[in-house]
Amino acid sequence: MIKNRFQRGAAMMEVLIAMLIIAFGVLGFVGLQAQTALSQVEGYQRSQALLLINDISARMSLNRVSAAAYVGNNIGTTDPGDCTTPTTRAGKDLCEWSLLIQGAAEVRGTAKLGAMTGARGCITSPAANQYLISIAWQGVQATGAPANTCGQGAYSNENMRRTVTTVVQIATLAS
């Protein structure tokens, strides 16, 4: 009988400890789900940026004679207006690409949702017939600052800036 008197409440303590362990497990799972959601957003934004890079790369390759007319910074930060008015093929391509960078491919009401947050495009020519195409946008989690200078200083924190780049080499064709 003495033994039972000292063991009263032991089952309740075991239940409380089990509930505590389960609570920590559930909190860990919720944290994992939150990280997964952030990673999915980052992955979606990166894939959108790569599609936009491929789009302008193809446009430049098709209009190789006027490839130098594509060079510019902060493309997509302002509304280009009506894309039927540019007189050159490069002007029309840049106007349409600017709309795509702003997210015009997917619209809900008046909001453009089809691209990255605060995206901008940069096209530079580091060498003759060579073009570096970059897209920068604001990520959702801080990481390291990218080496590419597209969009540098345009976001709240350099560790939030994301960039993707590609190089387009335009061949000089002889007659």
Confidence of residue 5 (pLDDT cuts 50, 70, 90): low
Do 73 and 150 touch, CB atoms closer than 8 A?
yes
At 175 the pLDDT is 65
Q: Rounded CA gap, 48 and 36, in Å?
A: 18
Q: What is the 3 state secondary structure string of the chain?
A: CHHHHHCCCHHHHHHHHHHHHHHHHHHHHHHHHHHHHHHHHHHHHHHHHHHHHHHHHHHHHHCHHHHHHHCEEEECCCCCCCCCCCCCHHHHHHHHHHHHHHCCCCEECCEECCCCCCCEEEEEEEECCEEEEEEEEECCCCCCCCCCCCCCCCCCCHHHEEEEEEEEECCCCCC
* 72-98 confidence digits (pLDDT tens): 999 999 988 888 888 899 999 999 999
**Which pLDDT score, from 0 to 100, does residue 134 have?**
97
Residue 103: pLDDT band with limits 50, 70, 90: confident
- pTM, two decimals, is 0.80
What does the pLDDT look like over 47-73, one tens digit per residue?
999 999 999 999 999 999 999 999 999
C-alpha to C-alpha distance for 147 and 66, rounded to whole angstroms: 28
Which residue type does 11 have?
Answer: A
> What value does the mean pLDDT take over residues 168-174?
82
pLDDT at position 105 over 90: no
Q: CB neighbours of 128 closer than 8 A, spacing ≥ 6?
A: none
| pLDDT higher than 70, residue 6 | no
pLDDT reported for residue 4: 61
Of residues 1 and 12, the one with the higher pLDDT is: 12
Q: How far from 19 is each of 13, 24, 29, 32, 52, CA to CA, in Å?
A: 10, 9, 15, 20, 50
